[in-house]
Amino acid sequence: MTDLELKGKVEDALEEIRPFLQSDGGDIALLGIEDGTTVKVQLEGACVGCSVNQMTLKSGVEMTIKKHAPQIQNVINVVA
């Protein structure tokens, strides 16, 4: 799989989970993919200060990304 194809799969995964984040006043942005295994994202809006954002990141975002792109091993939230 090319880097572009991988990015497309990750973007598809984020589009799948984005409505759930937006319904709570948040959002997520893809910052990049390192070594084809680590996705860097930035939680935005209400997600930034949410007490369960790490659970959302692991249970929701990471699980959805891995469903679309199984080679992804880690999803990291980069705090601005």
CB atoms within 10 A of CB 52: 11
The whole-number pLDDT of residue 43 equals: 94
The whole-number pLDDT of residue 44 equals: 94
Q: Is 51 exposed, middle or buried (0-12, 13-18, 19+ CB in 10 A)?
A: exposed
The whole-number pLDDT of residue 19 equals: 95
The whole-number pLDDT of residue 72 equals: 97
CATH (domain of 67)? 3.30.300.130
Q: Which residue has the tokens 């799948």?
A: 16
pLDDT in tens, the chain (80 residues): 899 999 999 999 999 999 999 999 999 999 999 999 999 999 999 988 888 888 888 889 999 999 999 999 999 999 87
Domain range for residue 59? 3-77
d(CA 45, CA 64): 20
Residues 6+ apart with CB under 8 A from 75: 38, 39, 41, 57, 58, 61, 62, 65
- Total domains in the fold of the chain: 1
